[in-house]
Structure formats: structure tokens, C-alpha cells
Amino acid sequence: MTAFPVEPAHDVADWMRAAFIDEEAPLLNEEHIHLRDARLGVLWCSLPNERQGNSVVGLCEEATFIGNRWAKARWEQQIGGWFGEIPDFLLTFDAGYADQCSDAAFCALVEHELLHAGQKKDKWGAPRFNSQTGRPVFGIRGHDVEEFVSVVARYGVGNAAGRTRALVEAANRPPIICEADIAGACGTCGRGLTKP
Ligand SMILES: [Zn+2]
């Protein structure tokens, strides 16, 4: 059998719902609540990836394909074959990284990608829902903070971009989730950490 680098990770998808999204989730983050109605397709990839000199270990994309009819049909057959449907979001994780990183680092990575899986807002800032289906209108959400350390160092947090001040305040508080809690909640994800 040819070893292809990509493999669906259904158990990771189940685990991330149970850990962070579901009502009873032990590490529930209220910012993920709209994802209870989202179809999430998770993939492992064993190929290292990088962008602008930084290694990329996780990726969140809207599962939409733009291309000609046959290419789209091929893509839908592949994705649908993996997940039984076309997901709203595709989340890809570096299997090699997940294999060696700590539980806490993996949880942080997964939540980072889940936070990109956003819900669009209307012009008044209220979450948008599809008027026909009642489902949230999904879209990729950017980072809360996009700033250079140098700017904060030289001009202070008050002159930094976007929500930098909120980030600094959060950094100055003890983390809500401690390492010990994560080890317990991540027990099941060990099963998913086999390289394809
Ligand atoms: Zn990101």
C-alpha cells in the first residue's frame, strides 16, 4: 500500500467536542459554543509544513472548493468519503508534532485552530444565523492580536494593535486550565496520535 500522508482523525474530532465544545465538556470554552452546530472534519498530516519561515503544525480552513466541476466532484468525493458529509471546517494537524508535544501544547494548538472556526457577525456585531436552516453562518476568524513584540516593547501596550492589552492582561493572570487538568482530559487523544 502506498503511504499517503493524510488520514482522517475521527477520534480527535470526537475528543475535541467532548473536551472543549459540548455542554458537559470539562475544559469548556464559551467561545466555541457555535461549534456545537458545526460539522468539523479533522485530519492528520505527516508532512511538515511551513509558512514564512515558521513551521505550521495546525490549520483551520473552511471546507469550500473553488475550481472546475470535475475537480470539485473529485474533492467532494474524497472529503465526503472521509467524513460522510462535507464539513463546515477542515482542521489539519501535524501528526509528527502531536506525537512529541505535551498534552498542554496539543490542547493549546487544538483550541487555537478551533478559535479560527468562527461565526460571522452582522453589522451590529451580533452572531449571524442562516435564515433558512437556522444554523450559524460560519467563517474563518482572525487572531485577536496581530502585533510585533518590538512595538509593545518600545511604545507600550496602549499603542499596540487590536486586543493586545487584553492579551497582556490574560498573560498576567494564572492560566484558567492548569497542566494537571489537561493531562486528564487528553487521555483519549493518545489514541489519535499515531502517525499515518
Ligand atoms: Zn492561528
* Contact by Cβ (8 Å): 181, 26: yes
Average pLDDT over all residues of the chain? 87
Under DSSP, the state recorded for 6 is E
3-state secondary structure of 79: helix
Assigned domain for 122 exists: yes
Q: Is 136 exposed, middle or buried (0-12, 13-18, 19+ CB in 10 A)?
A: buried
User: Does the structure show a pLDDT above 60 at 192?
Assistant: no
Q: Separation of 143 CA from ligand 1 center, angstroms?
A: 6
The 10s digit of each residue's pLDDT in 17-57 is: 999 999 999 999 999 999 999 999 999 999 988 877 778 88
What is the per-residue pLDDT for 2?
65
Q: Separation of 116 CA from ligand 1 center, angstroms?
A: 6
Q: Separation of 188 CA from ligand 1 center, angstroms?
A: 24
* Contact by Cβ (8 Å): 43, 91: yes
Q: Separation of 132 CA from ligand 1 center, angstroms?
A: 31
Domain that holds residue 159: 6-192
Assigned domain for 1 exists: no
Q: Separation of 128 CA from ligand 1 center, angstroms?
A: 22
Q: What is the 3-state secondary structure (H, E, C) of 96-158?
A: HHHHHCCHHHHHHHHHHHHHHEEECECCCCCECECCCCCCECEEECCCCCCCCHHHHHHHCHH
User: Does the structure show a pLDDT above 90 at 145?
Assistant: no
What is the per-residue pLDDT for 182?
53
Q: Separation of 187 CA from ligand 1 center, angstroms?
A: 25
Q: Separation of 111 CA from ligand 1 center, angstroms?
A: 10
Assigned domain for 35 exists: yes
Q: Separation of 53 CA from ligand 1 center, angstroms?
A: 15
| Cell numbers that stand for 117 in this block | 472556526
- Contact partners, residue 184, CB within 8 Å, separation at least 6: 26
Assigned domain for 106 exists: yes
pLDDT band at residue 185 under the 50/70/90 scheme: very low
pLDDT band at residue 188 under the 50/70/90 scheme: very low
The total domain count for the chain is: 1
Across residues 65-89, what is the average pLDDT? 96
Across residues 88-114, what is the average pLDDT? 91
